[in-house]
A and B are shown apart, each in its own frame.
Chain A
């Protein structure tokens, strides 16, 4: 009897009957989601992030409702009789206006778009580049690893602000350049972790098994090893988003990131320089949103790490709700 005939004969497999399902094993994803759902901090972080995303998406809507665009200087309604900015709670300006009579709420909403766009896009680019570089370095080892690992070390020890100043002076500041600069300085963080993991994974027997089946190096790297690195990569990427947002704010604050008059939280803070306690709303609100966003992403990152790897020690012990019986 040949193998194929046995296989053919065995192929009439009865379909799984949903009515007689016994205990179903849960997939790793289901387990992670289940653990996240019992984590209060994670849920709150997600709610905050969703609200800020909604704010960013709804920015034009807010502009339409208030009637002020993000760059409109409302000379007539946005300033008081002496031409001074309006404090929060003024008619039509929930969070007040700045020294040019621009609506701070609208500017924050549009600033959220910039922050999130930069945070997510820069992280995405950094993650993809970092994973590819780290996988090649860790899997192949040897001289390729030496070169790539040294490059990553150099990037990590680079004075990034100086580098950004040079780039901006050459190319002029823009959203694209900001994203690329942030991605360039962030990929090494992911790349180093991925390299280390790939180094240990390639010695596993399943890699040898794949090799003995005839799998090529690329297939082993991306089909076999990569799924085993998903957990640390997700955690790192989640934690990289707030770093990228802060990075963008720093660059914009220094006038190296998003160019005025396009609002970003960083250049709004920069605008507020020198106003002191008189016009506190210039800087309190952008700062609050910056803090809230980065805090939410950081806490979510910690929660995701806890959920992906239940063995690590919890940062906030006992914050998990009891499971309903």
Chain B
């Protein structure tokens, strides 16, 4: 649990963040019939100057959590503080001054830029909204920003359609930088880009962090990218954070079975290694967030599940042999060197087994 003495170090603190989206039915008189529990009771902190990676598979609530941090919609419950200020219940207009300190980079470099507006006007938008600069002054600052992110300032009057995907993402970065924010929430900023372009954008983000002392919340589903950029990593499953640790601890000694499975599923560039390593293959699909499993949400697919897992929800806690920042929400954390075998054989395993048993 967070130590109060460290507070000056903490830029964002989230305590028990809950975001449920209501499901409504009815044509004239809508009534709620359920809710999508996109983010459920999530607590974490982001320290000044660090990069917190957020990983998890599609639909686990990463992007919703990012939008909760940005307060793009009201929180269902929970407390969110940013730079000492409580943002949890502020209205949209009350949020406006705080938006100068926190900016977002979006996943889709096409959809996130208004195709009917010129690049100069898009990047200058934050300056116009917050009435920080206008006219020649705004143009100068926008062109400065374009130069900072590696765009040609002469392209000020072009439309987004005249740029490539990587350049468009640079436009998004420039827009996020315009207000000199402390925090940048990057929601899968590179997953829509080619691999070679991904590296450029990641390097740009790292350079900017060093230069301007930025704090990042970096969301991705590519584990290699997260390992490269993050100082600490949080793993999400079905609306919950299941494990948080410094990046080297998490990748070396993952404690939660889900983290183990996730890491074993990442692509390895070496084909020999890829063939020989153990993969943990989870059975079944991710359960529906409308009706999540009781107890530990992962118990329906967990190779180590015990009866207690379906009744009692495990809390994030530090293992005995782990360093202080390493928390996992599991009743039976994976020990060092422990092998988690796949419970169910895959087609490939079946075929291999069949070939081995077949008489020659």
Contacts and interface: CB of A to CB of B under 8 A. Distances in A.
Interface of A: 1-4, 6-11, 13-14, 16, 25, 27-28, 204-206, 208-216, 219, 224, 227-228, 230
Q: What band does the interface of chain B fall in when counting residues whose beta carbon is under 8 Å from A?
A: 35 or more
A214 B148 contact: no
Contact of A214 (B99, B180, B211): B99
B83 interface: no
B159 A214 contact: no
Given A1-B211, A11-B140, A13-B153, A214 B95 contact: yes
B201 to A, nearest CB: 17
A208 B112 CA distance: 8
Contacts of B106: 205, 208-209
Contacts of A14: 154
B158 interface: yes
A8 B103 contact: no
Contacts of A2: 180, 212
Q: Which 5 A-B pairs have the closest CB atoms?
A: A7-B144, A10-B147, A227-B116, A214-B99, A205-B111
A217 to B, nearest CB: 8
A211 B108 CA distance: 16
Given A27-B159, A208-B106, A214 B116 contact: no
Interface centre among A211, A224, A227 (most CB of B within 10 A): A211
Interface string B159-189: 1001000000000100101011000000000
A210 B172 CA distance: 11
Interface string B82-99: 000000000011011001
Interface string B222-237: 0000000000000000
17 contacts: A3-B212, A6-B211, A7-B140, A10-B145, A10-B153, A11-B141, A11-B143, A13-B140, A14-B154, A25-B159, A25-B162, A208-B72, A209-B104, A209-B113, A209-B175, A212-B104, A216-B93
Contact of A213 (B99, B117, B153): B99
A206 B111 contact: yes
A3 B180 contact: yes
A14 B143 CA distance: 11
A16 B130 CA distance: 29
B144 A8 contact: yes
A4 B116 contact: no
B125 interface: yes
B212 A206 contact: no
B183 to A, nearest CB: 12
Nearest to B106: A205
B126 A213 contact: yes
A25 to B, nearest CB: 5
B159 A230 contact: no
A6 B144 contact: yes
A6 B177 CA distance: 12
Contacts of B143: 10-11, 13
B35 interface: no
A224 B211 contact: no
A4 B114 contact: no
A205 B147 contact: no
Interface of B: 67, 70, 72, 92-93, 95-96, 99-100, 103-104, 106-108, 111-117, 125-126, 129-130, 140-141, 143-148, 153-154, 158-159, 162, 172, 175, 177, 179-180, 211-212
A7 B129 contact: no
Contacts of A208: 67, 72, 106, 112
A206 B112 contact: yes
A210 B96 CA distance: 12
A148 to B, nearest CB: 15
Contacts of B104: 209, 212
A13 B147 contact: yes
A293 B146 CA distance: 50
A10 B147 CA distance: 6
B329 to A, nearest CB: 29
Given A11-B141, A214-B100, A3 B147 contact: no
B292 to A, nearest CB: 26
Given A206-B114, A230-B116, A214 B153 contact: no
Given A2-B212, A212-B99, 4 more contacts: A7-B145, A13-B153, A213-B126, A227-B117
Nearest to B73: A211
Contact of A28 (B145, B154, B159): B159
Nearest to B117: A227
Nearest to A4: B180
A143 to B, nearest CB: 10
Given A208-B72, A212-B104, A9 B144 contact: yes
Nearest to B208: A3
B103 A212 contact: yes
A4 to B, nearest CB: 7
A71 B113 CA distance: 58
A216 B131 CA distance: 13
Nearest to B160: A206
